[in-house]
Amino acid sequence: MRHASRRWRADGEEIGLVPTMGALHAGHLSLVDRARRENSKVVVSAFVNPIQFGSGADFARYPRDPDRDARLLLEAGVDAIYRPVAESMYPPGSSTRVRVGGVAEPLEGAARPGHFEGVATVVTKLFAAVAPDRAYFGQKDAQQVAVVRRLGLDLDLGAEIRVCPTVREPDGLALSSRNAHLDPRERQAAASLSAALRAAARQYATGERDQAALRERLLAPLEAEPLARIDYAELVDPETFQALGRLAVLAVWIGNTRLIDNHDLAETFPGQS
C-alpha cells in the first residue's frame, strides 16, 4: 500500500482514503462517491479491526463479505482496496496503542472500554500506510469523527478529515452493517431509534430548549418499544460530547444487536414534519 501511495504522490495525484470494516452498504458508498469527486485516487480500506471490539462474540459475528465488497468498490471506480490481515496489523509483540483523551472518554468511550483506543490505533496505522490528503468519515459515528479529528491534530497526521451525512432507510433507520443481524421483528423495533431522534427534533423545532423536556421526548419512543434496551440516550454538546447540548446521541440494544445513531436537533430530521 505504501509503495502504491508513494508512486501516486510522486506523480502529483491526490489521495482520498475511506476507512471501513467492509460489509459495505450505501452509507459507505456515499463516502466513496464524495472521495472520488474530491481526489484523483481513492483507497478504501476494509479491515475488521479486532482491537476495537469488546467481546470476542461481537467481533466473531461481525458481517463479512469480501467478494461482494470488492465487486461494489470496483463498480464505484476506486483505485485500491486495502485489506490488511490482522496478523500483519498486529504481529506477535505488537504493544503500541494510541489513546485519545477528552472527547474519547464519555458515551461510547465509557460504554465500550478500549474501543476508541482501537479506532485511534488503526486510523494512525492506516494513515501511515496510505498517507491520504483527505480521509472520509460518516456523521453516523459522530463521536468517532471528533476522536479522529483530535487524533489528527494531536499527532500531526496531515490528512484533512471530511464528514459525510448519515444515509438512512426510508423509515429513518441509519444504514449499518450490524442491521444484517436484525430479524424482521427486531428490524421493526430498530425504527424506534430514528423515531426518537425525529420526535426530539420536532420538539426542538417548536422552540423547546428545556433539556429535560427534550430528553423526555427522546426517551419516549425507546421506552415504548419492548425490544429496545437503552444503553444511553443523551443530549450533548456536538464538540465536546459532554452534557448539555443539542446533539442527541443514542446507543440502544435491539435483542443482541447494539445500534447507535445521532442527530443535531437544530437540523431537520427526515420525515420530521
Under the rule (CB under 6 A), what is the footprint of ligand AMP?
Answer: 20-21, 27-28, 30-31, 137-138, 140-141, 164, 166-167, 174-177
Least distance between ligand AMP and beta carbon 209 (Å):
28
C-alpha 89/C-alpha 122 separation (Å) is 8
> Across the strands, what pairs with 82?
45
Question: Which residue number, 28 or 217, has a Cβ lying nearer to ligand AMP?
Answer: 28
Least distance between ligand AMP and beta carbon 141 (Å):
4
Question: Which residue number, 19 or 221, has a Cβ lying nearer to ligand AMP?
Answer: 19
C-alpha 42/C-alpha 28 separation (Å) is 13
C-alpha 131/C-alpha 125 separation (Å) is 10
Least distance between ligand AMP and beta carbon 206 (Å):
27
Q: Name the percent of the chain in helix, strand, coil, to the closest 5.
A: 45, 20, 35
Question: Which residue number, 57 or 224, has a Cβ lying nearer to ligand AMP?
Answer: 57
Grid cell for residue 156: 500531526
Least distance between ligand AMP and beta carbon 73 (Å):
13
Question: Which residue number, 68 or 209, has a Cβ lying nearer to ligand AMP?
Answer: 68
User: Helices 2-10 and 115-130: crossing angle, nearest 10°?
Assistant: 50
Catalytic residues: 28
CB pairs under 8 A, 24+ apart, for 216-222? 218/248, 218/250, 220/196, 221/192, 221/195, 221/196, 222/192, 222/193, 222/196, 222/250, 222/252
Question: Which residue number, 8 or 53, has a Cβ lying nearer to ligand AMP?
Answer: 53
**Other beta carbons less than 10 A from residue 184's beta carbon:** 7
Least distance between ligand AMP and beta carbon 162 (Å):
10
Burial (Cβ within 10 Å: 0-12, 13-18, ≥19) of residue 87: exposed
> Across the strands, what pairs with 235?
248
Burial (Cβ within 10 Å: 0-12, 13-18, ≥19) of residue 50: middle
